[in-house]
Amino acid sequence: MVDLIKSPGDPIWLQYVPTVQELEVEDGLVDSLAEDENSPVPNITHRYPDRALFLVSPVCASYCRFCTRRRKVGDPEKIRMSQLESAFRYLEEHQEIRDVIMSGGDPLLLSDRRIDDICKRLRAIPHLEVLRIGSRIPCHLPERVTPELCAILKRYHPLYINTHFNHPDELTPAAVHALGMLADAGIPLGCQTVLLRGVNDDPEVMKALMQRLLAARVRPYYIYMCDQVAGAEHFRTTVQKGLEIVQALRGWTSGLAVPHFVIDAPGGGGKIPLLPEYVVKLTDKEVVLRNYAGKTYRYSQPHEPILVG
Ligand SMILES: *Cc1c(COP(=O)(O)O)cnc(C)c1O
């Protein structure tokens, strides 16, 4: 990553190099998403009806300056498999959970063997249909994506990986190669991007990022408003800016390159989607719509059904 920095203050520098602004912390490293409140057992956040977040490793190589879990990340102490036991039990007992998101830290910083052990244990739980991994490794440490790792991961399909790129310059040849290896292992790839002031708060930069992701076989999944993380205030920008970016994507480039724009609501409300206003008027008779270029169209509602008695 460091070799991508062209000059101090550029989009890569801003994401990785600490600044004094980070010390403007009001209440310590707060848990603004209330993940700890929604945590029935250690390492599990169960907020939605049918899926759960599983923190498998506090170790992370990225040290994103805006990470929502900074309070947890960075502990060099590896979690022992036995410490995950209560989490595995919780997942076994809760049959409504059909989708588990391995998170951290970065799950792909664990050893091949540990990743294999965790996936094997999860796959032994019959009601878990889908496994997911959230990882910034393809962006940050693409050399970690080895043929051995891919061979392990492909044994646990359906397995999805959501990665994290914030700027088109991050799609280096090495990153694109790593993404190709994961895709060749049959893993559908998504990307979760964070809207960051000075990094990607520009429609042209975001469009280039989304197009390059798509060309690297990654389907953009979410653009997040930056969470209210202590010490990351200088990264935040307005919701209007996010809406402007989505408006500049939808219709203007491949629909496949347009992610959902969401706010992860503080206090544990979960992800809430935001959309520029395309519905001008909605009545029982018709809807008046605005297209991507700003032109207006009408669509008639179905006529009321005639009830035959
Ligand atoms: C983001 C998130 C999920 C997954 O949400 P999807 O919209 O299904 O990707 C699950 N649990 C928690 C706590 C999350 O923050």
- Ligand 1 atom closest to Cα of residue 51: 10
Residue 74's pLDDT is 60
Domain edges within the chain: 2-276, 277-309
- C-beta of residue 52 within 8 angstroms of C-beta of residue 46: yes
Task: Reply yes or no on whether 67 is catalytic.
Answer: yes
Catalytic residue among 47, 78, 123, 290: 47
Catalytic residue among 10, 16, 51, 219: 51
Longest dimension (CA), the chain: 77
Residue 299's pLDDT is 97
Give the C-alpha separation, 49 to 46, whole Å: 8
Q: Name the helix (H) or strand (E) containing 192.
A: strand 189-195
Structural Rg of the chain based on CA atoms: 21
Q: Which residue has the tokens 């991961």?
A: 153
Q: Which of 39, 43, 48 to mutate to test the pocket of ligand 1 (most atoms within 8 A of CB)?
A: 48
Residues with CB under 6 A from ligand 1: 45, 47-48, 51, 53, 101, 271
Task: Reply yes or no on whether 212 is catalytic.
Answer: no
Between the CA of 196 and the centroid of ligand 1 the distance, in Å, is 20
Name residue 271's beta-bridge partners: 264
CATH assignment, 2-276: 3.20.20.70
Between the CA of 140 and the centroid of ligand 1 the distance, in Å, is 22
Give the C-alpha separation, 161 to 182, whole Å: 9
Give the C-alpha separation, 304 to 242, whole Å: 39
Task: Reply yes or no on whether 119 is catalytic.
Answer: no
Residues 6+ apart with CB under 8 A from 288: 279, 280, 281, 282, 296, 297, 298
The tens-digit pLDDT sequence of the chain (309 residues) is 778 888 888 998 888 888 888 877 655 556 878 888 889 999 999 999 999 999 998 888 777 788 877 777 666 567 889 999 999 999 999 999 999 999 988 999 999 999 999 999 999 999 999 999 999 999 999 999 999 999 999 999 999 999 999 999 999 999 999 999 999 999 999 999 999 999 999 999 999 999 999 999 999 999 999 988 888 889 999 999 999 999 999 999 999 999 999 999 988 899 999 999 999 999 999 999 999 999 999 999 998 776 765
Tokens for 227?
A: 């969470």
Task: Reply yes or no on whether 69 is catalytic.
Answer: yes
Task: Reply yes or no on whether 48 is catalytic.
Answer: yes
Among residues 238, 243, 236, the alpha carbon closest in space to that of 206 is found at 243
Q: Which amino acid is at 116?
A: D
Q: Whose CA is nearest to atom 8 of ligand 1?
A: 51
Between the CA of 53 and the centroid of ligand 1 the distance, in Å, is 7
Task: Reply yes or no on whether 292 is catalytic.
Answer: no
**Exposed, middle or buried: residue 265 (CB in 10 Å: 0-12, 13-18, 19+)?**
middle
Catalytic residue among 31, 64, 90, 119: 64
Task: Reply yes or no on whether 222 is catalytic.
Answer: no
pTM confidence score: 0.93
Q: Which of 271, 272, 274 to mutate to test the pocket of ligand 1 (most atoms within 8 A of CB)?
A: 271
Between the CA of 202 and the centroid of ligand 1 the distance, in Å, is 26
